Amino acid sequence: MTHMVESRNIPNELYDALLAVDRLSANKLLTETTSDWTATERIEQLVSPALSRMGEEWEKGKVSLSQMYMSALICGAIVGTILPPQASHTKVHPPIAIVTLEDYHLLGKKIVSSLVRSAGYELIDYGQGVTVGVLFEKLTRDGVRILMISTLMLRSALKVRTLVNMINGGGLDIKVVVGGAPFLFDDKLWEDVGADAMARTASDITSILDRMVKEVR
Amino acid sequence: MTSLQRVLTTLGQKEPDRVPFFLLLTMHGAKELGLSIKEYFSKPETVVEGQLRMRKKYRHDCIYNFFYAPVEVEAWGGEVIYYEDGPPNSGAPFIRKFDDIKKLAPPRVGDTLCLVKVLKAHEIMKAKVGDEVPIIGVVMSPFSLPVMQMGFDKYIQLMYERPELFEHLMKMNEEFCVEWANAQLNAGATAICYFDPVSSTTIIPREMYFKTGYEIAKRTISRIKGPTAIHMASGRCLPIIDDLAKTGTAMIGVSVLEDLCEIKAACKGRLTVFGNLNGIEMRRWTPEQTEAVVKTALAKAGPGGGFILADNHGEIPCQVPDHVLTAISEAVHRWGIYPLSWTKDRQV
């Protein structure tokens, strides 16, 4: 269902509020202004498109990372308040995990987590500074089928190869999606390290997950 | 010309004998000396020896006395994690909650062992190379240091939502940065590379930069008693070049994400450009690719001076093989001789 609120362009208004890091306006748009929308409609027609658009603009150099992060934070908090506890919005899917591999720069993971959760996925968060060995144990224990890895340093990105070898050697069936600066600066790196996909921006991730969830079922 | 004369000429927006190039190598010296990265950085003498050997091998135009980014975090009491196959990295941030900022006090440079080690390396290098080649010292900008002090995510929130604590942190960081930069200049550094990736428009919008990183850079750079180069560490800067030119810096380190022609044109002779070879991709370049990439950069930004060829991040990964570094050097020595006549008929 598509809503019109007094001919206003709510998606654009939300996008502008998020760009300006205007928490109050964003909150008003997603609560009072759209009070007759269901929570799922607000998320699918307003929040997800706004964050996706922001990711696309970031890749073009028109939006900054700080705006993306604050938008993800603001939307994450609002979505948490408008969704009922057992939300119908939540998708049914095999275990999906996210990690910042071998370093402590967790901005990318936070942005992606917020976006993915807004899209209805539940995530196991393995945190940051996790080594390949520890990660492999966790993946085996939890039966994870899709793993999203965020890295900032080239060294960490190259460690994905070690992990993929362990996954293959251990007979695990896990799809690996990578993202982060090293992969942006070398568009062949994700294939070199044996990943199944690369997310150029945080907004790529939901379509990648939608596809992978169908594949691993 | 000596390397220093070559660099000074290009800084004066004139053409020297050839395009200067900086190979900003931090870890290759360890490999050359057969040491682990941790052992290599444990003594100033080994870093000096590594730098001198790198320069002899690749004939580039600077000595880069940059140990590792988190040396400043170490000075503030934070954790540094060493690896065999990558630069030392900062561990978990030592500012865990916003209110921790109120309890912080900046370290004194002369009392801090890890910084004194870097200063000692400057002294030894200066005694060995004199005025033949510029020695580059490094500081993290007061505005970018918090990424390691408290983590990117918390820092962005601080900037937007806790202005009073942000200002307090900046005040301390500025004092530390000025003291640290001037100590390096006193010890023998020719110039200071002021790493400021958070000011890049990749990280914050220009409006935010104008209120924060710009003012901080102006205040800090005006108190640093030597030439500075602002480095964006792979971040974009085209929309803020006019602002950067007003900070008092002489050079900017630019990203491969932006076009060198556009950057050079925007600098309009006010700033010298250095960059922008892709250090991540570099590890798998063939000699032919390397030559082609170098030629493109020289053709785009070399004419008229005001350009130093370098990588785009300020640190070449240790995975980049020696043959690529040799190929860069050979390409600059072959194609970088002024007046770069070969560029005249070339589409860039």
- The side-by-side arrangement of strands in the sheet containing B251-253 is B63-64, B135-140, B191-195, B228-231, B251-253, B272-277, B307-311
Residue B348's pLDDT is what? 66
Q: Using CB atoms, which residue from A64, A155, A192 is nearest to B83?
A: A155
Q: How far is B276 from chain A (nearest CA, A)?
A: 12
Is residue B92 situated within a structural domain?
yes
Residue A65 in contact with partner chain B when CB distance is under 8 A: yes
Q: Using CB atoms, which residue from B152, B201, B317 is nearest to A154?
A: B317
A95 has a pLDDT exceeding 70: yes
Is residue B76 situated within a structural domain?
yes
pLDDT digits (tens, 9 = 90+) for A134-153: 999 999 999 999 999 999 99
CATH fold of A96-216 reads Rossmann fold (3.40.50)
CATH 3.40.50.280 positions along chain A are: 96-216
Residue B317 in contact with partner chain A when CB distance is under 8 A: yes
Residue B163 in contact with partner chain A when CB distance is under 8 A: no
Phi then psi for residue A21, to 5 deg, are 50, 45
Cβ within 8 Å of A, B 202-241: 202-205, 208, 234, 236, 238
Average of pLDDT values for B306-324? Answer: 98
Which position has the token pair 């004369």? B5
CATH 1.10.1240.10 positions along chain A are: 10-82
Average of pLDDT values for A120-128? Answer: 92
> Which of A45-49, A83-87, B225-229 is predicted most confidently?
B225-229
Q: How far apart, in whole angstroms, are the C-alpha atoms of residue A204 and residue A54?
A: 11
The residues near A15 (Cβ < 8 Å, ≥ 6 apart) are A50, A53, A54
Average of pLDDT values for B98-125? Answer: 97
Residue B201 in contact with partner chain A when CB distance is under 8 A: yes
Phi then psi for residue B192, to 5 deg, are -115, 130
Residue A39's pLDDT is what? 86
Q: Which two tokens stand for residue B21?
A: 């190039």
* Under 8 Å between Cβ of B348 and B299: yes
Q: How far apart, in whole angstroms, are the C-alpha atoms of residue B53 and residue B334?
A: 22
Cα radius of gyration (chain A): 18
Q: What is the mean pLDDT of chain A?
A: 90
Q: How far apart, in whole angstroms, are the C-alpha atoms of residue B313 and residue A105?
A: 17
Residues spanned by the domain of B214: 3-343
B152 CB neighbours in chain A (<8 A) are: 69, 105-107
Is the ipTM above a cut-off of 0.90? yes
Residue B337's pLDDT is what? 98
Beta carbons of B202 and A64 less than 8 Å apart: yes
CATH of the domain at B90: 3.20.20.210
Residue A114's pLDDT is what? 86
Residue type, B290: T
Coil/strand/helix, residue A188: coil
Please report the DSSP string for B274-323 in residue order: EEEE-TTGGGG--HHHHHHHHHHHHHHH-TTS-EEEEESSSSB-TTS-HH
pLDDT digits (tens, 9 = 90+) for B36-48: 999 999 999 999 9
- Considering its fold, how many domains does chain B have in total? 1
Neighbour-count burial for B293-314, b at 16+ CB within 10 Å, e otherwise: bbbebbbbbbbebbbbbbbbbb
A156 CB neighbours in chain B (<8 A) are: 86
B151 CB neighbours in chain A (<8 A) are: 104-107
Is residue B348 situated within a structural domain?
no
Query: Residue A121, exposed/middle/buried by CB under 10 A (0-12, 13-18, 19+)?
Result: buried
Q: Does domain A10-82 have CATH number 1.10.1240.10?
A: yes
Residue A40's pLDDT is what? 84
pLDDT digits (tens, 9 = 90+) for B304-314: 999 999 999 99
User: Tell me, what DSSP letter sits at residue B341?
Assistant: G
Which has more confidence, B184 or A80? B184
Q: How far apart, in whole angstroms, are the C-alpha atoms of residue B98 and residue B76?
A: 16
Is residue B247 situated within a structural domain?
yes
Cα radius of gyration (chain B): 19
B120 has a pLDDT exceeding 60: yes
Flag the least confident range among A104-113, A183-192, B121-130, B191-200: A104-113
A2 has a pLDDT exceeding 60: no
Phi then psi for residue B308, to 5 deg, are -125, 125
Residue type, B320: V
